[in-house]
Amino acid sequence: MLNDKTIQIIKSTVPVLEVHGTAITKRFYEMLFTNHPELLHIFNHANQKQGRQQTALANAVYAAAQHIDNLGAIIPVVKQIGHKHRSLGIKAEHYPIVGQTLLAAIKDVLGDAATDEIIQAWAEAYGVIADAFIGVEAEMYDQAEKQEGGWSGFRPFQVVKKVRESDVITSFYLAPQDGGRIASFLPGQYISVKLDIPGETYTHIRQYSLSDAPGKPYYRISVKREDTLKDRPAGKVSVYLHEKVEEHDVLMISAPAGDFTLDQQDTRPVTLISGGVGLTPMVSMLKTLAATNPQRQVTFIHAAQNGDVHALRGEVEELAAEHPQISAYWCYDRPTEQDKADQAYHKEGYVDLQWLQSIVAVKDSSYYFCGPVPFMRTVNSLLKEWGVPAADIHYEFFGPAGSLENEPAAV
């Protein structure tokens, strides 16, 4: 364990590092990828370009350092990150590389202010933090491999069915090429897909939530194509999947992971709220609830621009028709003329508190949501405003996890 002096140095320097956080992590990634270009096969380049991953890693290291004398307090966060690391294939041997590079970046940015004593203290603290991650992830690797139908690393899966679900979302049904069993999963979990795109120097890994219920001989993912928008380039993996990957093609995927999962012990009503492609984990939860828990009341709320981009609508409507305990509501912010003529939605505009209160059967329920970050901020602040306890609010980011707190609500 660390001695009191080291702990005191760490705690007193965290605020200094936080001030220089962006500069340090920017330098960290420059050095990391210069000295270890092989890591460019693992990191998400789009997240790098937009600075999302930088913030996530810096915040996690400082949060860990602040709890350096009681790392047990941050185990849930370590587990959440550990799921992502395990799904990407991050190994114990990667940790010293990150540690050494981080220390070099701190020294580089802070100059003489980073004394030998401070650097030594951070080296020790990083070692303790890294050990916590390595321990948690070792258990996850073990569990992923030893479970029935499990495997380690990436396994080849064949696309057995490709289904267009809307103008922008397409589903891929994936069955193992070796014909073996597949690991079960908890509704809400995701897999990582690793792609070798012709002409690209590096492999690209992306996460996709499983959009069907567990217990099938395949996994289903439903992918939104991220087309070029103003100055933003087209998404590498999603567009390749849509345009180039066909039935019989093979994708490399890692075993299901993630801690955004439906609590199936809870017997209270549940409200599932999604925006856009954020509906994938919600549909998996909904299908599981319909199949396993007919007593549990479910309110399924989906926000989309309009009916043209609304995926999996038929599937959800079928479940709602078959199960009286399930109600489904659609909120379109830009309904088409056809949507208007068909009265295809329940609310025009954005999700607001008055509407939520009018459709959620019982306030004392658990709430799960997923969607674009501004949508999630809005839903989070609406639930808080309504007085829903934080323990009943669960959400997933389709990118590096961040905070929804203290942010201006969109809409």
Catalytically active residues, by annotation: 95, 137
| Min CB(52)–ligand HEM separation in Å | 7
Rounded alpha-carbon distances, angstroms, from residue 253 to 7, 10, 113: 41, 39, 45
% helix / strand / coil in the chain, to the nearest 5? 45, 20, 35
| Min CB(331)–ligand FAD separation in Å | 19
Q: How many residues bind ligand FAD (CB under 6 A)?
A: 27
| Min CB(6)–ligand HEM separation in Å | 17
Rg (CA), the chain: 22
Q: How far apart are CA 282 and CA 262, in angstroms?
A: 9
Binding-site string for ligand HEM from residue 351 to residue 390, where x marks contact by CB under 6 A and - marks none: ----------------------------------------
Region 267-306 residues binding ligand FAD, contact defined as CB under 6 A: 277, 280
From 359, 401, 409, 411, residue interacting with ligand HEM (rule: CB under 6 A): 401
39 lies in the binding site for ligand HEM (CB under 6 A) = yes
DSSP symbols for 133-191: HHHHHHHHHHHHHHSTT--SSEEEEEEEEEEE-SSSEEEEEEEETT--------TT-EE
For ligand FAD, give the closer residue by CB, 218 or 355.
218
Is 280 flagged in the annotation as binding?
yes
Eight-state DSSP code of residue 102: H
Eight-state DSSP code of residue 409: P
130 lies in the binding site for ligand HEM (CB under 6 A) = yes
Q: How far apart are CA 408 and CA 405, in angstroms?
A: 9
* 238 touches, from ligand FAD, ligand HEM, none (C-beta below 5 to 8 Å by class): ligand FAD
From the list 59-67, 114-122, 183-191, 275-283, the region that binds ligand HEM by CB under 6 A is 59-67
- Kind of pairing between the strands at 270-275 and 298-304: parallel
| Min CB(315)–ligand HEM separation in Å | 28
From the list 44-52, 100-108, 155-163, 290-298, the region that binds ligand FAD by CB under 6 A is 44-52
From the list 135-143, 232-240, 328-336, 383-391, the region that binds ligand FAD by CB under 6 A is 232-240
Structure tokens at 367: 């709430």
* 171 touches, from ligand FAD, ligand HEM, none (C-beta below 5 to 8 Å by class): none
Is 159 flagged in the annotation as binding?
no
From 212, 226, 259, 339, residue interacting with ligand FAD (rule: CB under 6 A): 226
Beta carbons within 10 angstroms of residue 79's beta carbon: 16
Binding-site string for ligand HEM from residue 71 to residue 100, where x marks contact by CB under 6 A and - marks none: ----------x--xx--x-x---xx--x--
Q: How far apart are CA 379 and CA 355, in angstroms?
A: 12
CA-nearest of 400, 346, 358 to 382 is 358
What are the residues facing 409 on neighbouring strands? none
| Min CB(233)–ligand HEM separation in Å | 17
Give CA 253 to chain center in angstroms.
16
| Min CB(101)–ligand HEM separation in Å | 9
Say how many Å lie between the first and final Cα of the chain, rounded: 48
Task: Please compute, for residue 234, the number of CA atoms within 13 A of its CA located in the half-sphere on the CB side.
Answer: 10
* 208 touches, from ligand HEM, ligand FAD, none (C-beta below 5 to 8 Å by class): ligand FAD
Answer yes or no: are the C-beta atoms of 212 and 287 closer than 8 Å: yes
Q: How far apart are CA 139 and CA 6, in angstroms?
A: 29
Residue set of the binding site for FAD = 190, 206-209, 397-400
Residues lying near ligand HEM in the complex (CB under 6 A): 39, 42-44, 47, 53, 56-57, 60-61, 64, 81, 84-85, 88, 90, 94-95, 98, 129-130, 133, 400-401
Residue set of the binding site for NADP(+) = 276-281
Residues lying near ligand FAD in the complex (CB under 6 A): 44, 46, 49-50, 190, 206-209, 221-224, 226, 232-233, 235-239, 258, 277, 280, 396, 398-399
